[in-house]
Amino acid sequence: MKKLSVLVVPVLIYLFFNTSCTHMPDPEFVPDPPTDTTQNNPCSPDTVYFQNEVLPLIVSSCAKSGCHDAATKAERINLSDYNSILRTGGIKVGNPNGSEFIEVITETRVKDRMPPSPEPALSATQIELLKKWISQGAKNLACNANLNGCDTSKTISFQKDIMPVIELNCKGCHSAYSAGGGIKLTNYTEVKNVVTGGVLIGVMDQLSGFKPMPPAGNKVDRCNISKIKIWIRNGAPNN
């Protein structure tokens, strides 16, 4: 009996710490934050809009096929839509530093970090955005960027106007480590490669005959699609 407990106790201790260290979802937790997904308001710079800024980032960084998408739900965590993210994603509404979601993306031990190595960590700006969203109540807000006015009068710059849109909406699934369809979109040359044949606009504007991208979540807003079209019409320069 004594011998058995010598074996069993460390196993129990290991199991306890092991499960408490991984980000197990809380099946009892039912999210109940206010929900406002109206798109009749322009975007305010002080507010983080889940639908416009947070969901595309989480979908392309976490809800990939084989990871935390609705079909795979790795570790029972589904990060493909608002309710699932609130229910299973380790979000403590109003408390970013108490949220396991933030803990795993800021984890300094590479082997425990999400997205897992060899995927790169999220950038400091992206982490700040996610923390701010949780601080502001992790609400399901949306805004209509088209109502802010779409200024296409200035020269469209690849680095300033186009690449940030790709980084937010596409790069996580089209990086060196997870290149959806064998396509990488991490720099100018790689983006330029899919301009040919109208593929970039075809997938983003979700035209018939093209695979809609992003495959889940929201379509990129009209203003940014217009900017990409103008940039392509100008010869898709690396400016």
Contacts with ligand HEC, residue ranges (CB under 6 A): 59-60, 63-65, 169-170, 173-174, 180-181, 183, 194, 199-200, 203-204, 210-211, 213-215, 220
**Cα–Cα distance measured from residue 49 to residue 39, given in angstroms and rounded to the nearest whole number:** 11
Whichever of 90 and 214 has its CB closer to ligand HEC, that residue is: 214
Task: State the minimum distance, in angstroms, from the CB of residue 74 to ligand HEC.
Answer: 14
Whichever of 134 and 185 has its CB closer to ligand HEC, that residue is: 185
Say if CB 48 and CB 54 are below 8 A apart: yes
| 215 burial type by CB count under 10 A (0-12 exposed, 13-18 middle, 19+ buried) | middle
Whichever of 68 and 96 has its CB closer to ligand HEC, that residue is: 68
Whichever of 211 and 222 has its CB closer to ligand HEC, that residue is: 211
Q: Cβ-closest residue to ligand HEC?
A: 180
Task: State the minimum distance, in angstroms, from the CB of residue 125 to ligand HEC.
Answer: 18
Task: State the minimum distance, in angstroms, from the CB of residue 176 to ligand HEC.
Answer: 14
Q: What phi, psi does 43 have (nearest 5°)?
A: -85, 130
Whichever of 63 and 96 has its CB closer to ligand HEC, that residue is: 63
Task: State the minimum distance, in angstroms, from the CB of residue 37 to ligand HEC.
Answer: 20
Say if CB 53 and CB 129 are below 8 A apart: yes
Task: State the minimum distance, in angstroms, from the CB of residue 13 to ligand HEC.
Answer: 38
Q: Which residues contact 219 (CB under 8 A, 6 or more apart)?
A: 204, 205, 206, 212
Say if CB 146 and CB 223 are below 8 A apart: yes
Count of C-beta atoms within a 10 Å radius of residue 116: 13
